[in-house]
Each structure stands twice: as structure tokens, then as C-alpha cells.
Structure 1
């Protein structure tokens, strides 16, 4: 998931779920875990923001 975000920071949870063949709720849960662990951050508003890989 992190590799996909690195290549396309504007990717949506729906697009991630399609690419990884899992449910949107699974993606949202995993994004929350990665954010809490400091691996990724969402920068900006819900409509115009993007993901950033931190480390």
C-alpha cells in the first residue's frame, strides 16, 4: 500500500481497495494504522489533499 501511495499520492481508498482487491473498510483501517505509526500522513483537506509517505 505504501508503494502505491508513493507512486500516486492522490490515490483514494476506493482506488486502493480495487488495486489490492480488499474492501474499502480494510483500506481505511490500514490507512489509520499507518498514520498512527507515523508511516504516512494526509496533507490538506479531504477534497484537495494528498498522502505523503514519511518513512
Structure 2
């Protein structure tokens, strides 16, 4: 996954507006824990596409 650091700093969870952190091929919310997929190096920040942590 290639997401620039400057972009990761400004991305926020659409559900709770908290910062996101990179985890392998996904982005995880630091607050609510929703995990968003990254497809072709593009974050898919749709709550309907997110999964809950296991």
C-alpha cells in the first residue's frame, strides 16, 4: 500500500472524524475501530465498505 504520509495525516474516519492509521493493506480508525479497505492504493472511506474489528 502506497499512501503518502502527508495524506494519511489529513484523512479522517467518516463515521467519527478521528485520525486513521495504516495497517498492512487497510486503514483503521484510532477511535471507533472501523477498518477501511485500500484498493489499488486508493482508500475507500465509505462506512458501508468498512468492517468492524474482530
- Please confirm whether the aligned pair reaches a TM-score higher than 0.5, indicating the same fold: no
Q: Which has the higher contact order (CA 8 A, sep 6+)?
A: 1
TM-score (norm 1): 0.27
Greater percentage in strand? 2
Greater percentage in helix? 1
